[in-house]
């Protein structure tokens, strides 16, 4: 039991690796966010790509929750700053953006669907 606890308090990775995790992880989050934003901005008004955009937002949120939990666990286990901070920062951003923008994007798709229904009603009248 105590061997397990001591192995958890050992550094998970070096500060150099933590820097790389922060740099490449932050860049990956930025690219993913840009892709979701462009896809949602172009496709949502037309009512296209709903599963793709909303699915990516959910994946981003769940991934962010996992990373944030690992980062908080690292903080509680007294890992070095370079270990817990990038995990918590990237996880918090993904969590907040993924789950925060999900209802907004879902509303955009509902508005597009409503416009299609209204347009169909006008065509038939």
Residue 38 domain flag: yes
Expressed as residue numbers, the domain containing 79 is 15-117
C-alpha to C-alpha distances, 83 to 4, 56, 87, 105, nearest whole angstrom: 19, 26, 7, 33
Residue 6 domain flag: no
Residue 30 domain flag: yes
Total domain count for the chain? Answer: 1
Q: What confidence tens digit (pLDDT) does each residue in 99-111 have?
A: 999 999 999 999 9
Residue 48 domain flag: yes
Q: Which of 85, 96, 30 is nearest to 61 (CA)?
A: 96
Give the span between the Cα atoms of 44 and 39, in whole angstroms: 8
**HSE of 50, CA atoms in CB hemisphere, 13 A:** 12
Q: What confidence tens digit (pLDDT) does each residue in 71-110 have?
A: 999 999 988 899 899 999 999 999 999 999 999 999 999 9
Residue 91 domain flag: yes
Residue 31 domain flag: yes
> Is the predicted pLDDT of residue 5 greater than 70, yes or no?
no
């Amino acid at each position: 039991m105590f061997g397990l606890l001591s192995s958890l308090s050992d550094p998970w990775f070096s500060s150099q690796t933590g820097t790389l995790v922060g740099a490449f992880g932050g860049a990956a989050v930025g690219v993913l966010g840009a892709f979701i934003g462009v896809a949602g901005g172009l496709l949502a008004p037309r009512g296209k790509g709903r599963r793709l955009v909303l699915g990516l937002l959910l994946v981003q949120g769940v991934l962010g929750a996992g990373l944030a939990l690992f980062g908080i666990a690292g903080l509680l286990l007294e890992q070095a700053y370079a270990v817990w901070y990038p995990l918590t920062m990237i996880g918090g951003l993904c969590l907040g953006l993924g789950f925060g923008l999900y209802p907004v994007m879902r509303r955009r798709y509902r508005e597009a669907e409503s416009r299609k229904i209204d347009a169909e009603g006008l065509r038939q009248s």
